[in-house]
């Protein structure tokens, strides 16, 4: 999960660095979300992790294919970071969503939390 989160934060940082005229800001917000549907199943509790930046936004033509391998808008990018992040999040039964426009991009990760029985 560290790698998945770092990939997203790195993308935000790179997007902000391409626009030095914008005072860049990246926020990481964590919350508990209730009754979340992940891959068709409803989970009573999920960890919700948001990585939000105030950069230029993701180009509209990339938004539908963003998590595919080799999709990038960067001249030096490999296009693997978000694909790897999605795979890692999926290994934890989670999901990732994105919403983006000029001045705000938010990646939201949902990870189901299993209740553990107390051992006596």
Confirm whether 43 is domain-assigned: yes
**What is the predicted pLDDT for the residue at 69?**
62
Q: How far apart are the first and last CA of the chain?
A: 31
Question: Residue 56 belongs to what domain range?
Answer: 2-112
- 120 within a domain of the structure (yes/no): no
Instruction: Indicate whether 80 belongs to any domain.
Output: yes
| Residue 39, phi-psi category: left (phi > 0), alpha (psi -120 to 50), beta (remainder) | left
Domain-embedded: residue 36: yes
Task: Kindly report, residue by residue over 33-69, the tens digit of the pLDDT.
Answer: 999 999 999 999 999 999 999 998 888 887 777 777 6
Please write the tens of the pLDDT for every residue from 14-28: 889 888 887 899 999
Q: Could you tell me if residue 74 is inside a domain?
A: yes
pLDDT band at residue 72 under the 50/70/90 scheme: low
- Determine, yes or no, domain membership for 118: no
In a domain? residue 90 = yes
- The 10 Å Cβ neighbour count of residue 75 is 6
Question: Is 78 in contact with 85 (CB distance < 8 Å)?
Answer: no
**Domain CATH number, residue 7:** 3.30.565.10
Total tally of structural domains belonging to the chain: 1
In a domain, 25, yes or no: yes
């963003």: which residue's tokens?
66
| Per-residue model confidence as pLDDT tens digits over 75-116 | 665 567 788 899 999 999 999 999 999 999 999 999 999 877
């Amino acid at each position: 999960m560290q790698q998945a989160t770092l990939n997203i934060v790195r993308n935000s940082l790179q997007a902000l660095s391409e626009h030095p005229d914008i005072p860049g800001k990246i926020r990481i917000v964590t919350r508990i979300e209730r009754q979340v549907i992940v891959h068709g199943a409803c989970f009573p509790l999920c960890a919700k992790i948001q990585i939000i930046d105030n950069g230029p936004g993701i180009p509209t033509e990339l938004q539908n294919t963003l998590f595919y391998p080799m999709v990038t808008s960067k001249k030096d990018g490999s296009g693997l970071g978000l694909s790897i992040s999605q795979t890692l999040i999926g290994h934890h039964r989670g999901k990732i969503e994105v919403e983006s426009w000029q001045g705000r991009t938010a990646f939201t990760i949902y990870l189901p939390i299993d209740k553990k029985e107390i051992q006596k």
